[in-house]
Amino acid sequence: PGIYVCAKCGHELFSSRAKYEHSSPWPAFTETLRQGSVAKRQERPGALKVTCGKCGNGLGHEFLNDGPQRGQSRF
């Protein structure tokens, strides 16, 4: 429980309240903590590259429409 932060700079990224079980081996979240928590850029259709909103550290991807409910994204 708590807040997930960037391993490089400590910037707050996700709340444990947005975490859910997914078949991937990595933690999965439905939303960021704040609007500026992460930065995103299109990488390929259906996937955005996600970086820390403060230092630019790579965090993985946002997969559009792949969350636990229809229309939700998965980080």
We report the CATH number of the domain holding residue 58 as 2.170.150.20
Q: Say if 25 falls within a structural domain.
A: yes
Measured distance CA(58)–CA(10) in Å, rounded: 13
Q: Does residue 44 lie in a domain region?
A: yes
What residues contact 11, with CB distance under 8 A and at least 6 apart? 5, 37, 52, 53, 54, 55
pLDDT value of position 10: 97
Residue 20: domain span: 3-63
pLDDT at position 1: 87
pLDDT digits (tens, 9 = 90+) for 38-55: 999 999 999 999 999 999
Q: DSSP code of 7? A: T
Is residue 52 assigned to a domain? yes
Number of residues that make up the chain? 75
| pLDDT band at residue 36 using 50, 70 and 90 as cut-offs | very high
Q: Does 74 map to a domain? A: no
Residues forming beta bridges with residue 26, ordered by sequence position: none
- Alpha-carbon Rg for the chain, nearest whole angstrom, is 12
Interval 46-74 mean pLDDT: 94
Establish if 24 belongs to a structural domain: yes
**70, part of any domain:** no
Is the pTM higher than 0.85? Answer: yes
Domain total for the chain? Answer: 1
